[in-house]
Amino acid sequence: MGKQATATVLALVLLCVVLLAAPAADAASCNPSALSACAGALFGGAVTPGCCASLRAQQPCLCQYKRDPAYRGYVNGPVAQSVTRACGLPMMKC
């Protein structure tokens, strides 16, 4: 393989790595386990400052969780909406 062909292949590989890494970086910031601070509130306990901080940090991800079958029941439920209101966050518009 010539130098130009090698450079082209290397450039394509680097482009693929960059494109594949970008969504992974976004997904890494969305961490459903970060909402565990709200577990008590979802099951009848008090809404804590830690829960509200976690909700604020994860707010950009809530629509993603709302579409995920594993989390949708927690995010869509009336209790979750009341926790969101208690934290002073706007309602999700997905």
- Domain with residue 57: its CATH number is 1.10.110.10
Identify the domain containing residue 79 by its residue range. Answer: 31-94
Average pLDDT, the chain: 75
Residue 60 has pLDDT above 70, yes or no: yes
Taking residue 51's Cβ as centre, other Cβ atoms within 10 Å add up to 22
Domain shared by 79 and 51, yes or no:
yes
Neighbours of 66 (CB within 10 A): 15
* pLDDT for the residue numbered 66: 92
40 and 20, same structural domain?
Answer: no
- Count structural domains, the chain: 2
Closest CA to 27 of 65, 84, 76, 77: 65
Higher per-residue pLDDT: 56 or 2? 56
Q: Is the pLDDT of residue 93 over 80?
A: yes
Enter the tokens of residue 91: 């309602």
pTM score above 0.75: no
